[in-house]
Chain A
Amino acid sequence: NAGVTQTPKFRILKIGQSMTLQCAQDMNHNYMYWYRQDPGMGLKLIYYSVGAGITDKGEVPNGYNVSRSTTEDFPLRLELAAPSQTSVYFCASSPSREADTQYFGPGTRLTVL
């Protein structure tokens, strides 16, 4: 049982490039989340999903897109990367939305130069 996995661990992008951050979970959780964490700051929710085929915006969705075609996978797409998107990105999953514990992946450290 691997839990929540994320790839890549590190990435450096040039301004204007695009990339997809991968997230997968093997716990059969319905709910999945993407957060970003800037240095010294709390986690900010980017997008979340309550099940395959359903996604919704979080607090800071601009510049990102997501899809959820399966229960297991929840990729995050960055189009036209900007320096403001330099951050650590965490994916998480939970059995339900509010009351349950969220389980986090190890994170992706992204730098946009």
Chain B
Amino acid sequence: RKEVEQDPGPFNVPEGATVAFNCTYSNSASQSFFWYRQDCRKEPKLLMSVYSSGNEDGRFTAQLNRASQYISLLIRDSKLSDSATYLCVVNGNSGNTPLVFGKGTRLSVIA
């Protein structure tokens, strides 16, 4: 099992739609979880941290399921500006990989 796995997409959704991404991780001892956003040809930027109890930031909701080792990101009322690649990030399971980045899920929001 890969350390962090994501559906690469693309997810093509109309403006205003609700879309959800899942991510699975292999290390049951992982403690830190994040969603990053990466625009085309740009650097990754933190979207939100993921907390055990779940957390919300405006239209974005992140959930953590430790028992099943997956993380989810829900985007409500999608905007054109949400089009990007969303990276699932988990702290690594060995001393030389502080954070492990998934390959990302590509989202295109269409007018």
Contacts and interface: CB of A to CB of B under 8 A. Distances in A.
Interface of A: 31, 33, 35, 40-43, 45, 48, 56-59, 90, 97-99, 101-107
Contacts of A45: 96-98
B91 A58 contact: no
Contacts of B95: 56
6 contacts: A56-B95, A90-B43, A98-B31, A99-B32, A102-B99, A104-B44
A98 B91 contact: yes
A41 B103 CA distance: 5
Chain B interface residue number, banded: 20 to 34
A68 B69 CA distance: 36
B62 to A, nearest CB: 14
A106 B42 contact: yes
Contact of A43 (B8, B32, B44, B46): B44
Q: Is the interface of B mostly helix, strand, loop or mixed?
A: loop
Contacts, number: 53
Contacts of A57: 96
Contacts of A99: 31-32, 91
B96 A97 contact: no
Contact of B96 (A35, A42, A56): A56
Contacts of B91: 98-99
A38 to B, nearest CB: 10
Interface in B42-56: 42-46, 49
Given A41-B103, A42-B102, A58-B96, A101 B46 contact: yes
B34 interface: yes
B10 to A, nearest CB: 12
